[in-house]
Structure 1
Amino acid sequence: MMKYWITIVCLWTGLLVHTMAGAQEPLRAAYYPTSPFVIETDEGLTGASVWLWDAICKDLSLEYTVEELPLDTLLRAIEAGNKDMFIVPLSITSERNKFIQFTVPFYVASSGILIHSAGNWQKFTAFLRSFFSLAFLQALAALFFVLLFFGFLLWLFERRRNPEHFEGGWRGVWSGVWWSAVTMSTVGYGDKVPKSSGGRIIGLIWMFIAITIISGFTASIASTLTVQNMGWNRKNIQDYKELPIASVNGSATEEWLRAHFFKDIRALPNLDACLQALDAGEVMAVAYDEPALKEIVRLDSASRYQLQESSYNLQLYAFGFSKMVSDTLVERISASLLEITESRDYQVVLSEYDLIQE
């Protein structure tokens, strides 16, 4: 009789343990929209990482609830244990590894630079603005003053000895200015010629001074055009080190910019806010994960943006879990993730979202 009851108790205990093990609470997941990995639609969430996570849940019979959070809030929620995991792919860093359990990586990416596209008309108007700047107008005024000064000096020497070329009154002064301008530009019409010794000495001095002035003026114009051209042809992330640049607050790219001592980083809540700052002229560029920036360019039918050919800050994307989640569960998820990412279906999904890497 005793053996009978012992058998009943053992069977009941085993059944109870099995039931408790199978009755796992749904995972509390969080995300923030990051196309092409997490995309919000009327039907729900879609995207490459959403497909991958749903495939893992189907494989392991997992359930989850999901809530949208800004990236910095999401990280704090994971650290505090208020959320169990995030669906959005997150870069593995040493700092994050202190409070996040990462799965094995499932995608390799870099950070990129997004800027406004510069059309020919935009370049032309910028060119005109550089010519009509205050500094340029001041240089023109100074040049006219020098022309007037030497023209007047010549007129003083020539007005009596050479009245046929430099007559009296304002007409003679204007003839002197005309002569100084023709001499400076080395055109040499020969219609106005100094004949007095004093006038020729003034002419000789003005010729040497004019060479220096015209050389400096030409160099200034060339410098302005070169700087303007460089402004449209920044390619390396280091070219933006002293300029205002936007990135998503809490992102790996923002951490990289701060670690490399960029001077003016605008950390904004999300990528949409970064684009708004770029459109408003508050920043010169947006620095963020390259796949997300490529998706913006792909969907940009108005061709407002362009992605510069500069990659930096290599990143490994993975799913992350709170330290309070079972290590065993994270290991099972990693094993399932490996199998799925090696499948043909996953390659098709990557191709669908233009994530196939060369």
Structure 2
Amino acid sequence: MRNVLVVMVFLWAVFSPGPPARAQAAGQPAAVPQKRVLTVGAMRAPPFSFQDAQGEWRGIGIDLWDNVAEEMGVEYVIKKYELKGLLDALERGEVDVAAAPLPITPENINHLDFSQAYYFSGLGIAVPRQPARNIFFHVVEELFSTQFLAYVALMGVLLVASGLVVWWIERRINPDQFGRGARGIVDGMWWSAVTMTTVGYGDAAPKSVFGRLLGMVWMFASVVLVSIFTASITTTLTVGRIGGKVAGPEDLSGAVVACVSQGSAEFFLRHTHIKPHTYPDLAAALTALANKEVDAVVDDRPLLLHTVRNAFGKKIEVLGASFDPTAYAFAFPLGGELRKPVNIALWRLRRDRDYWKGITGPYLGE
């Protein structure tokens, strides 16, 4: 019996499992999961992810992921999806990470995990590029514009009305300066003109009480009218030379705006009570802008910068304003193990200030 007990103790000592592995020390970097080659989901979304003429994947997100994978020491293959298919594949765990520009939104956070944001942006505005113009020809053009001629016509009507009234009041009391008939009417208009321009030659002046009261009213009114006229013309000449109809988001409500149908820009514009002209894709909207069929195009600013830089650089420019902010990040299946090591790699890359310019510069020109 004693021998049987000795044998049982010996067998337990040999084949029993060892002590449990010690938990990872606090503060140590998260280990990269040891598994098969990672599957990276991507979709066509320039300038973040797209295939060039040779079929190679390029873009801000792709280049950044390649550097992150190098920092982590992992290999990967890229699998192409459409947006809905990519989101479904992430939820089912068929891909390990999405290198496409997926925004961090409350809806997405409920179904996916995200890395720290690697790009902050928002909507942007594309407008026709303003060519350098000769100042002389620009002034001549504005002088014959509808707005300028309307100003001149209004001032002329007021001048004639004032001259007729003063002539009608003074024609009997002061016939030497405001004579009868056509000559007197011309005298009244002459007095109205020199009073409006504050020249006041003194060759004609009303003598009656009503005539002088009218003269006082016309003097003060003329100061206001001429000031408004001068300011309006100056503004028209200046604004017409330095910019177009849209200079920022605040000008969109009074302009003809285009956007891509069912995109984030359309939802934003309709939410702000702007009814846009919609197009099937950004190239079609920018073509309409280049042909001056619309005043501005609104879309994601990085996408505008990339598309304008590659195809519309001579006719269109993207304004510096950015609004309705969005943050882009790498996405993972919910509860995956890659999030922490990817964040660590991103922070290591972020230490190099010139690195981010090198990532975005080739695609956005920034």
Shift of 1:104: 0.9
In structure 1, the partner of 2:326 is: 315
Q: Take 2:74 and 2:189, find their aligned partners in 1: how far apart are those partners?
A: 90
CA, structure 1 residues 151+205, in 2 after alignment: closer, same or farther (shift >3 Å)?
closer
In structure 1, the partner of 2:168 is: 153
Once the two structures are superposed, residues 128-177 of structure 1 have per-residue CA deviations (whole angstroms, 9 ceiling, x without a partner) of 47663575355135224314423542573268x42xx5555433432332
In structure 2, the partner of 1:66 is: 80
2:217 pairs with one of 190, 205, 208: 208
Q: Secondary structure at the match of 1:263?
A: coil
User: What aligned pairs does 1:221-240 form with structure 2 within 5 A after superposition?
Assistant: 221-222=230-231, 226=235, 232=243, 237-240=249-252
- Counterpart of 1:89 in structure 2: which amino acid? P
Q: Take 1:86 and 1:122, find their aligned partners in 2: how far apart are those partners?
A: 51
Q: State whether residues 52 and 346 of structure 1, in contact with CA within 8 Å, keep that contact through their aligned partners in structure 2.
A: no
In structure 1, the partner of 2:63 is: 51
1:139 pairs with one of 136, 154, 163: 154
In structure 2, the partner of 1:335 is: 341
Shift of 1:212: 1.6
Once the two structures are superposed, residues 315-340 of structure 1 have per-residue CA deviations (whole angstroms, 9 ceiling, x without a partner) of 3212346xxxx657x54377357536
CA, structure 1 residues 225+39, in 2 after alignment: closer, same or farther (shift >3 Å)?
farther
Q: State whether residues 269 and 276 of structure 2, in contact with CA within 8 Å, keep that contact through their aligned partners in structure 1.
A: yes
In structure 1, the partner of 2:121 is: 110
Q: State whether residues 103 and 333 of structure 1, in contact with CA within 8 Å, keep that contact through their aligned partners in structure 2.
A: yes
- Counterpart of 1:207 in structure 2: which amino acid? M
Shift of 1:93: 0.8
Q: Take 1:80 and 1:267, find their aligned partners in 2: how far apart are those partners?
A: 28
Give unmatched runs, 5+ long, in structure 1.
1-20, 68-73
1:264 aligns with 2:271: no
User: What aligned pairs does 1:128-207 form with structure 2 within 5 A after superposition?
Assistant: 128=143, 132=147, 135-136=150-151, 138-150=153-165, 152-153=167-168, 156-157=171-172, 161-162=175-176, 165-166=177-178, 169-193=181-205, 197-198=207-208, 201-207=210-216
Q: Cα RMSD over matched residues?
A: 4.7
TM-score (norm 1): 0.64
In structure 1, the partner of 2:228 is: 219
TM-score (norm 2): 0.63
Once the two structures are superposed, residues 221-260 of structure 1 have per-residue CA deviations (whole angstroms, 9 ceiling, x without a partner) of 535755886795976634545655444455555555556x
How many residue pairs get matched?
314
Once the two structures are superposed, residues 251-308 of structure 1 have per-residue CA deviations (whole angstroms, 9 ceiling, x without a partner) of 555555556x353345544433343343344554444444444446766653742423
In structure 1, the partner of 2:100 is: 88
